[in-house]
Amino acid sequence: MATNRDAEAILDIVDAAQQIQRAVRALTLEAFQSDREKQAAVLYFYIIIGEATKRVSTELRSQFPDIPWRDMAGLRDIAAHQYDRVDLETIWIITQTSIPDLLTRLEPLLEPPEESQ
């Protein structure tokens, strides 16, 4: 991890992603599309992910170019400023596919480095 700021940002991203998973755990796409509270919660946590992404240093981003940093920040901008463009089916697909992948990539960054013996 590059800095404490990076560690805090990654922790915020991981926490928000986990909150998204909890919010939709027992839902179908149809149930999600008809539940405004769940939609609001999920979009709120995507905004947090995007804000935290913007705090991640350029150095850390360059070490992990396979993480979609720009897309994460872009989704935040749409959710916050162009909410009329939010497509719930796309949000659902991202939630079901990209969030698990993101957690798989980021959770190891939260682990303290192993000390060499």
pTM: 0.89
Mean pLDDT, residues 1-7: 81
Q: Structure tokens of 103?
A: 């957690």
pLDDT > 70? residue 76: yes
pLDDT > 90? residue 33: yes
- Where are the domains positioned within the chain? 4-108
Q: Structure tokens of 13?
A: 């991203």
pLDDT of residue 79: 86
Catalytic residues: 76, 81
Residue labelled with tokens 């993480």: 67
pLDDT > 90? residue 46: yes
Q: How far apart are CA 24 and CA 31, in angstroms?
A: 9
pLDDT > 60? residue 116: no
pLDDT of residue 115: 57
Q: Structure tokens of 54?
A: 């913007």
